[in-house]
C-alpha cells in the first residue's frame, strides 16, 4: 500500500525531481505493533536533510497522521518515507513555484535469521568507495548509487553486509548500516563529517553506551584498526544491531559489551528477531 501526497495511488509524475536528480530524502522506519518506531528521531534527521537541501520541511503532523493510517494494524513492517523537492524544471535550477512530494509505502518486515544476532554476520570489504562531500554527509538523501554499486559486488550467500571506505581508505560504514568496533573496552565508530549517513540506530547505540558508562569515540578508522579490533558490529533501524563474526579472513570473538547492547536493545524493542 502506498500514499502519495495523501492519496492512495501508486504512480508518481514523470517530471518529479526525485526521479531526475535524486533531489530528495528518505527515511526507512521499523513498524511494530502498528506504530512507527523512533518517529521523532527520524523526523529530526528528515528535517536536517530538508534544511541541508533547501527543501521546505514537510508538515510533520500531517506526515505522522498519514504514516499512522498507513501502518495501522500492521504487527511488523518497514515504512519508507520519501520526500522529493517536487515536480518540475528540465534543468537543475529549481522552479520558483514547486511543491514537495511525499510518498509513504509500507513494506513487509525482512525476517532475518536469529543466528545473525546469536552467532553474528559475515562482512566483506567493498571495492566501491564513498565520495567525499561534507554538504551531503550525514543526511539520508536519495542519491544512493554508491550503495547500489557496492551492494551488487556480491551475492547474498557470500556475505551479509559490505564495508565501505572513503577515497583515502578510511572505514566509513556498511552499505546499509553504520559500523562500530570495540577496542580496549571502548566503542569506536567512524567520523561522518565527510561522507556516510548519520544513522538513527547509531545515535541510539552511542546514547546507550554512555548510559552504561562505556566510553565512546567518534574517530577516523583505518582498515588495520578494524581488523585488529576485539569486536565489530553494524547497526540500522531495521536490523537493530548485528554482531560481526567474520570479515574476509578475520574472525571476531563474541564480546560481552556487544552482548549487553543486544540485550538492552531487545528489551527496548529495538531488535525484533524472527519468531
Ligand atoms: C548507507 C547507510 N548508512 C547507515 C544506515 C543506518 O541508518 P539508520 O540507523 O537510520 O537506519 C543506513 C540505513 O539504511 C544506510 O543505508
More confident residue, 174 or 111: 174
Q: In angstroms, what is the span from residue 123 Cα to ligand 1's centroid?
A: 16
Catalytic residue among 28, 122, 128, 220: 28
28 CB under 6 A from ligand 1? yes
Grid cell locating 171 = 572505514
pLDDT higher than 90, residue 61: yes
189 CB under 6 A from ligand 1? no
pLDDT higher than 90, residue 129: yes
What are the DSSP calls for 228-275, one per residue? Answer: H-SEEEEEETTTEEEEEEEETTEEPPP-HHHHHHHHHHHHTT------
DSSP state of 24: E
Residue 92: pLDDT band with limits 50, 70, 90: very high
Which positions ≥6 away from 106 have C-beta within 8 Å? 1, 2, 31, 70, 71, 74, 77, 78, 79
Per-residue pLDDT reduced to its tens digit, 205-244: 999 999 999 999 999 999 999 999 999 999 999 999 999 9
Mean pLDDT of the residues in the chain: 96
| pLDDT given for residue 57 in this prediction | 86
Catalytic residue among 66, 84, 140, 161: 140
The torsion angles phi and psi of 204, rounded to 5 degrees, stand at: -65, -40
Take atom 16 of ligand 1 and give the residue whose Cα is closest: 176
| pLDDT given for residue 258 in this prediction | 97
Grid cell locating 116 = 545473525
Share of the chain above pLDDT 70, in %: 99
- Catalytic annotation on 173? yes
3-class secondary structure, 193:
coil
Residue 157: pLDDT band with limits 50, 70, 90: confident
202 CB under 6 A from ligand 1? yes
| pLDDT given for residue 58 in this prediction | 87
| pLDDT given for residue 220 in this prediction | 97
Continuous segment of H or E residues that includes residue 164: strand 161-165
Burial 78-98 (b: 16+ CB within 10 A, else e): bbebbbbbbbbbeeeeeeeeb
11 vs 1: CA distance, rounded Å: 12
Catalytic residue among 173, 175, 235, 272: 173
145 vs 164: CA distance, rounded Å: 13
Other C-beta atoms closer than 10 Å to the C-beta of 12 total: 17
| pLDDT given for residue 189 in this prediction | 98
- Catalytic annotation on 28? yes
Continuous segment of H or E residues that includes residue 124: strand 121-125
- Catalytic annotation on 224? no
Per-residue pLDDT reduced to its tens digit, 184-215: 999 999 999 999 999 999 999 999 999 999 99
48 vs 233: CA distance, rounded Å: 26
Residue 272: pLDDT band with limits 50, 70, 90: confident
pLDDT higher than 90, residue 66: yes
| pLDDT given for residue 235 in this prediction | 98
Structural domains of the chain, ranges and CATH numbers in brackets: 2-107 (3.30.470.10), 115-267 (3.20.10.10)
| pLDDT given for residue 1 in this prediction | 85
Share of the chain above pLDDT 90, in %: 94
Take atom 15 of ligand 1 and give the residue whose Cα is closest: 176
Would you call 22 exposed, middle or buried from its count of C-beta atoms within 10 A (0-12, 13-18, 19+)?
middle
Q: In angstroms, what is the span from residue 173 Cα to ligand 1's centroid?
A: 9
32 vs 225: CA distance, rounded Å: 36
| pLDDT given for residue 275 in this prediction | 61
Amino acid at each position: 500500500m502506498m500514499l502519495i501526497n495523501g492519496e492512495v495511488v501508486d504512480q508518481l509524475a514523470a517530471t518529479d525531481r526525485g526521479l531526475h536528480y535524486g533531489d530528495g530524502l528518505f527515511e526507512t522506519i521499523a513498524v511494530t505493533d502498528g506504530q512507527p518506531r523512533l518517529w521523532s528521531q527520524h523526523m529530526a534527521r528528515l528535517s536536517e536533510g530538508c534544511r541541508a537541501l533547501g527543501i521546505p520541511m514537510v508538515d510533520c503532523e500531517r506526515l505522522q497522521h498519514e504514516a499512522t493510517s498507513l501502518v495501522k494494524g500492521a504487527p511488523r513492517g518497514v515504512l519508507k518515507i520519501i520526500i522529493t523537492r517536487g515536480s518540475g524544471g528540465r534543468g537543475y535550477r529549481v522552479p520558483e513555484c514547486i511543491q514537495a512530494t511525499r510518498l509513504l509505502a509500507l513494506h513487509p518486515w525482512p525476517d532475518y535469521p536469529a543466528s545473525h544476532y546469536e552467532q553474528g554476520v559475515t562482512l566483506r570489504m567493498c571495492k566501491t568507495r564513498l565520495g567525499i562531500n561534507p554538504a551531503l554527509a550525514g543526511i539520508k538523501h536519495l542519491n544512493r548509487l554508491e550503495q547500489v554499486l557496492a551492494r551488487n559486488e556480491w551475492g547474498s550467500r557470500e556475505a551479509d553486509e559490505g564495508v565501505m571506505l572513503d577515497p583515502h581508505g578510511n572505514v566509513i560504514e556498511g552499505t546499509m548500516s553504520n559500523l562500530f568496533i570495540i577496542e580496549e573496552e571502548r566503542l569506536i565508530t567512524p567520523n561522518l563529517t565527510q561522507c556516510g549517513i548519520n544513522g538513527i540506530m547509531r545515535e541510539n547505540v552511542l546514547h546507550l553506551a554512555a548510559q552504561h558508562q562505556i566510553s565512546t569515540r567518534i574517530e577516523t578508522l583505518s582498515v588495520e584498526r578494524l581488523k585488529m579490533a576485539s569486536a565489530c558490529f553494524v547497526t540500522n533501524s531495521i536490523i537493530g544491531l548485528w554482531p560481526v563474526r567474520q570479515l574476509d579472513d578475520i574472525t571476531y570473538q563474541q564480546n560481552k559489551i556487544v552482548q549487553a547492547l543486544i540485550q538492552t536493545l531487545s528489551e527496548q524493542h529495538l531488535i525484533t528477531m524472527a519468531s
